[in-house]
Amino acid sequence: MKTVKTTACLALLLGATAVSVPAFAEEASKAASTTNVEIIAGDDTNEIIDPIEPPTNQKGPLVIDAVSSFDFGKIKLGTLTKEAVVPEGKALGVQVTDKRGTGAGWDLSASITEFQNADKTKTLKASVKIPAGQVNTSASDSSKAAVASEIILNSTAGTVFSASKDNGMGSWSDLFEGNNQKVELTVPSDAYVAAYTATINWSLQDAPK
């Protein structure tokens, strides 16, 4: 009896399977259509990723969107190193956007003039260090990143931020004080009392060095 019951169940199952096989319709006709798009370089102003001020409001396919000024406040003689003051709710850094769509890469360099007082009778032999910081992006592929470099500014331009071929497309920011780093001013012990100002010149080249 046991064998008979098993065989009957199998027969019912197989029968149910055979009945459920669907019938497939034959293709009566087919066609093909096309879809087209042309990508062109962008030239609008760009959204600032991080709270870096001031914005430059520059337009174009390859631009510096924002770059910080540095305020070191007051330094007492005898203090050799001072960190830059960060405004509340803001960040020190620079942002570059590449909307050329060529993958050519780019190089952002900086140089600094002498620190001078208002009537240019005194100079300060100080140095400013910008750390490599933290790189952020709005690009969809963060693996093709721009690279930040530490630099001690002087009269000769040096690379701060760069992108090799096929990298750095889209908007990229370098937060100078990311990763617990600081923008620092070092002053000599023989400095004269005065208020000093220097100008940092930023230059964005359309190809990596």
Mean pLDDT, to the nearest integer, of 162-178? Answer: 97
* Confidence grade of residue 15 (pLDDT, cut at 50, 70, 90): very low
What pLDDT does 79 receive? Answer: 85
What pLDDT does 63 receive? Answer: 98
Please indicate whether residue 16 or residue 29 has the higher confidence score (pLDDT).
29
CA neighbor of 163 nearest in space, from 171, 175, 154, 155: 171
Strand, helix or coil for residue 130? strand
Sequence spans of domains, the chain: 62-205
**pLDDT one-digit tens code per residue, 180-207:** 999 999 999 999 999 999 999 999 999 9
Least confident of 4-18, 64-78, 88-102, 129-143: 4-18
Residue 7: burial class (beta carbons within 10 Å; 0-12, 13-18, 19+): exposed
**pLDDT one-digit tens code per residue, 115-127:** 999 999 999 999 9
Rounded Cα gap, residues 200 and 110, in angstroms: 7
Rounded Cα gap, residues 42 and 134, in angstroms: 26
Alpha carbon 101 to chain centroid distance? 16
The pTM is what? 0.82
Instruction: Give the other-Cβ count within 10 Å of 17's Cβ.
Output: 9
Owner of token pair 């010149």: 201
Rounded Cα gap, residues 84 and 177, in angstroms: 10
- Write out the CATH class of domain 62-205: mainly beta
